[in-house]
A and B are shown apart, each in its own frame.
Chain A
Amino acid sequence: MKKILCLLLAMTMTFGCLTACGSKDTSEPATDGAATGGDTADTGSSETIEGAFKLGAVGPLTGDAAIYGQAVVNGAQIAVDEINASDSTVKFELNKQDDEADGEKSKNAYNNLMDWGMQILVGPTTSGAATAVAAQVYTDRTFMITPSGSSTDVIDGKDNVFQVCFTDPNQGTGAADYIAENMPDSKIAIIYRNDDAYSQGIRDTFVEEAEAKGLEVVTEGTFTADTATDFTVQLTDAQSKGADLLFLPIYYQPASIILNQANAMGYAPTFFGVDGMDGILTLENFDTSLAEGVMLLTPFSADATDDLTKNFVAKYQEAYGEVPNQFAADAYDAVYIVKAAIEAAGCTADMSTTDICEALVAAMPTLTYNGLTGQNMTWQATGEVSKAPMAVVIKDGVYTLPN
């Protein structure tokens, strides 16, 4: 028994060594490694389509931010399936890769996709990773549209990188403007994560705009990834300073803890989040009744009544068994935006990645697109999208428009 086990272990290791060395020294790892990656990663559209554009999606499919990456690839997959099933001349082939929301891994994922022959990149999902990849994409001249990389650094100085989501400054100012308009007398407390680019970025612009609009920020509490488990100090501080509006430019996991703890200590201000709060209703083991009355700024509401949203939500629920969040909608839009740009530029799938990039860069500022996440979306040559932010309130476990 022991001998067999030893032999098995030895074989596993030898095999591991062989495969490892194999791709290091052999001359054609590009084709075999990437091909297997493409085949197994795509469960939805693994069949190769003649004359299809090769689309790559990158996002954290594992790790802390996995819910975003999953939503992005799922949303993109639905759009690709729809387009391929339609009579459109533009067809897509989608390859999804995991980056664990890490810049280094994201670059690896991008390189892996380039080996596969990717022509257009939809991703990466998170800001830090998107910034790292954007620099590479800029030198390589690959067209990139990120569904949710919201930092301005992503697009800064790169003409071939475009965003579907708002930039962080837009969210910060948007939130401050909304509060100034609808709740001008509120005493605002902010709790944000100061080791996170996204959170800090929104907080900075929010405070700036709040000052300009004469809003009163009574206190600010910070936390980091390591201290995101207990918020009693920050909450007690906000409560004692008499804050009646709590601005939370953070992701939904810490937000869920904040809601829980605030509830436990009987503190009930108005909670106001941004797009990172999106996803809180699908969080496992979270009592959604705690999220009642939470306001958030999001471009997408799953229970909007227009046909486009209804259709998307139905398809998403059927395929993945949950209500899609804003990230899925952003990715869905991203694929359709790419399609619209390809049609406007008249690209064909046999063009090189660089040629497609130049053509699409020229076409993007001329587009006007109506999608899930906004009407009349247009792009500046810088890559920034212009669309109107929308505030929603969680009522009975769904997003509704505030009245």
Chain B
Amino acid sequence: MKINLRNKRTRTDFLTYAGVIIAFVVMTILQKEGAISRSLSGQLVPICAYVTMAISLNLTVGILGELSLGHAGFMSVGAFSGIIAAMSLQSAIPSDGVRLAVAMVLGAFFAAIAGFLVGTPVLRLRGDYLAIVTLAFGEIIKELVNCLLVGYDENGLHMMFNLNGQKTVADLGLTENGIEIIKGAQGATSTTTISTFTAGFILVMVTLIVVLNLIRSRSGRAIMALRDNRIAAESVGINITKYKLMAFVTSAALAGASGALYGLNMASLQATKFNFNTSILVLVFVVLGGLGNIWGSIIAATLLTVLPEMLRSFAEFRMLVYAIVLILVMLATNNPTFKLFFERIRTRFFKKPAKEVRGK
């Protein structure tokens, strides 16, 4: 395989991979040395989960050009199916790492099914229907998990829907050795936390490889053609529903894997965590990082996850300051003068590549 590093896009992609790898190596070394605060090292796994969420949502919003407001719903599907898998396979797969991998794959699988079910009818339509339906989907998932009772004992998995609100975990009929995995509204409260930063890093890398390769492939070009001009794309024989579904289901699956990682990092997790606000939060990552800009999503997700913690010194005004910073960043990144300023810096320090691009 010949890699043409002169191609600007290829170069950006490889810089993105390299950046993630370097960040991982640096953080691992620092963590080994005990040089980073607990506050930061405790956030490493959530950061990986949010980065994956942002990249996968970028695939739907930035690359496919459809607005999705229920991305947290897929995360929720992944998280709870991942938790169920990891908890019930405890005796079958003693190794934490393997169990986590299985949980993430299953999380991705179930989220992909959910994505397929949501996407099939909706993506055939024109207009902003996906936004409306995904918004509803996120709420539906939240309500469903609130009704879900799951337990595991030597007789296998017990599952029950508490539709009228009158049932409790006791109705599952678990034996003495049984474990209660999901207790309706109380959520998953006895999860063994097995997520690690390394697993998170691998997930981010897998996500990057999947998404970047999809974008640069024939299918990816078809997807972007759909985004840019639907009629033109249709006229050259691109199967619209197929490519839309491809992007959307991939995005849902990755969100599911990220949910499993996130869920298995928390001893206690309620369905309400994955509400509309979380979906919007991820959307903010994507918009702030730039639509269609993968490395932008990574940086935005990381910074905006760390930022509230860094602002702890503002005590009660923390979220106010967070909002102000967010607004300023949004304004600044869209400011022409500011862009020009960046451009000038770039031409000054990286004269050669800039010239080369211009020469082409």
Contact = CB atoms under 8 A, between A and B. Distances in A.
Interface of A: 2-3, 6, 9-10, 12-13, 16, 19-20, 23-25, 27-30, 33-34, 36-37, 39-41, 61-62, 97-98, 102-105, 107-112, 114-115, 128-129, 131-132, 134-136, 151, 153, 156-157, 192-197, 199-201, 204, 207-208, 220, 222, 224-226
A195 B190 contact: no
B219 interface: no
B350 interface: no
A6 B307 CA distance: 22
Interface string B184-201: 111101100100000000
Interface of B: 26, 30, 33, 35-43, 46, 139, 142-143, 146-147, 165-166, 168, 170, 183-187, 189-190, 193, 266-273, 303, 306-310, 312-316, 318-319, 325, 328-329, 331-333, 335, 337-338, 341
A64 B315 CA distance: 17
A168 B309 CA distance: 31
A30 B36 contact: yes
28 contacts: A9-B331, A10-B338, A13-B333, A20-B307, A23-B40, A41-B312, A61-B315, A61-B316, A62-B316, A103-B270, A104-B46, A104-B266, A108-B42, A111-B42, A112-B38, A112-B312, A115-B38, A129-B268, A131-B267, A132-B268, A134-B267, A151-B189, A156-B190, A195-B143, A195-B146, A195-B270, A197-B186, A208-B170
A97 B303 contact: no
Contacts of A197: 183, 185-187, 189, 270
Nearest to B268: A131
B138 to A, nearest CB: 11
A61 B317 CA distance: 10
Contact of B189 (A6, A25, A27, A153): A153
A40 B307 contact: no
B268 A103 contact: yes
B185 A27 contact: no
B272 A195 contact: yes
A200 B316 contact: no
A25 B29 CA distance: 11
Given A28-B35, A194-B184, A226-B139, A108 B146 contact: no
A131 B190 CA distance: 8
A6 B313 contact: no
B165 to A, nearest CB: 5
Contacts of A20: 303, 306-307, 310
6 interchain residue pairs of minimum CB distance:
A135-B267, A131-B268, A30-B37, A197-B186, A111-B42, A153-B189
Nearest to A16: B325
A142 to B, nearest CB: 11
Contacts of B42: 107-108, 110-111, 136
Contacts of A102: 273
A29 B166 contact: no
Given A97-B312, A112-B309, 15 more contacts: A10-B332, A27-B36, A30-B36, A30-B38, A36-B313, A62-B319, A98-B315, A98-B318, A112-B312, A114-B38, A128-B268, A132-B267, A151-B186, A192-B165, A197-B183
A227 to B, nearest CB: 10
A98 B316 contact: yes
Contacts of A28: 35
Instruction: Name the prevailing secondary structure of the A interface residues.
Output: helix
Contacts of A13: 328-329, 332-333
A128 B187 CA distance: 9
Given A16-B329, A103-B273, A200 B184 contact: yes
A111 B38 contact: yes
Given A9-B331, A204-B168, A135 B268 contact: yes
Given A103-B269, A153-B268, A112 B190 contact: no
B40 A29 contact: yes
Contacts of B41: 111
A12 B268 contact: no
B315 A41 contact: yes
Contacts of A2: 337
B39 A34 contact: yes
A111 B268 contact: no
